Amino acid sequence: MITVRDLIDAPLPAIAGLAPWEATIRSENIVAEALDTLGDGYAVAGGVAIHETATVEPGAILKAPCIIGPNCFIAASAYLRGGVWLERDAIVGPCCELKSTYMHAGAKTAHLNFVGDSVIGRRCNVEAGAMVANYRNERDDKRIVIAHDGKRIDTGVDKFGAVLGDGTRIGANAVIAPGAILMPGTIVRRLELVDQAG
């Protein structure tokens, strides 16, 4: 079984040994429990923790549970919900929506992005308009099944976006279909569709 640790160097400790879809389906509980373990420098109110060095612009919506790490930047009109954890130096641009997503150190979403039920590795960059879909609306059977490394993986969940290995770059207006596993350093070109359904 593939784990977050297999694709991301020094992943957030609570999710390191989990399959990515296990981490995202449990994100609300994992993030809520992590609120009690944060170090100094965090202001916590209503289930949302923001580090004192982070910037959250007016108009951003942060729904509990949510953790915004050191030196993160959240732009106006960003929408974070369903258990979101940003490590350090992460950037969420204007009009981006993150749902049940973990972003590791230095990861960025530009603007007008949707990233659902995903694990984003260190130094990943998601350009403007790119979408990481999390639900197979076009199918009667919504369960996410992935073809990876010559194997068929039944995740057992009906909502899972992707795991983007460290240094992955997603071009503008690309679409990552539900259930993608992108190895470290993957480059997805502008307007490209990545669909790894099994």
SS3 state of residue 32:
helix
Task: Supply the pLDDT for residue 194.
Answer: 97
* Chain mean position to CA 83: 10
Strands 145-148 and 151-154: antiparallel
Tell me the residue length of the chain: 198
* 16/14 Cα distance (integer angstroms): 6
* 50/166 Cα distance (integer angstroms): 24
Q: Which residues pair with 126 in a beta bridge?
A: 109, 170
Structurally, the chain folds into a number of domains equal to 1
**Domain hosting residue 20, numbered range:** 4-194
Dihedral angle sign, alpha carbons of residues 130, 125, 179, 115 = negative
* 53/88 Cα distance (integer angstroms): 10
**Residue-level pLDDT, tens digit, the chain, 198 residues:** 899 999 999 899 999 999 999 999 999 999 999 999 999 999 999 999 999 999 999 999 999 999 999 999 999 999 999 999 999 999 999 999 999 999 999 999 999 999 999 999 999 999 999 999 999 999 999 999 998 888 999 999 999 999 999 999 999 999 999 999 999 999 999 999 999 987
Which CATH number belongs to the domain containing residue 91 in this structure?
2.160.10.10
Q: Which amino acid is at 119?
A: V
Task: Supply the pLDDT for residue 14.
Answer: 93
Whole-Å CA distances, 97 to 82, 101, 117, 133, 183: 11, 10, 11, 11, 23
Task: Supply the pLDDT for residue 197.
Answer: 86
Task: Supply the pLDDT for residue 1.
Answer: 82
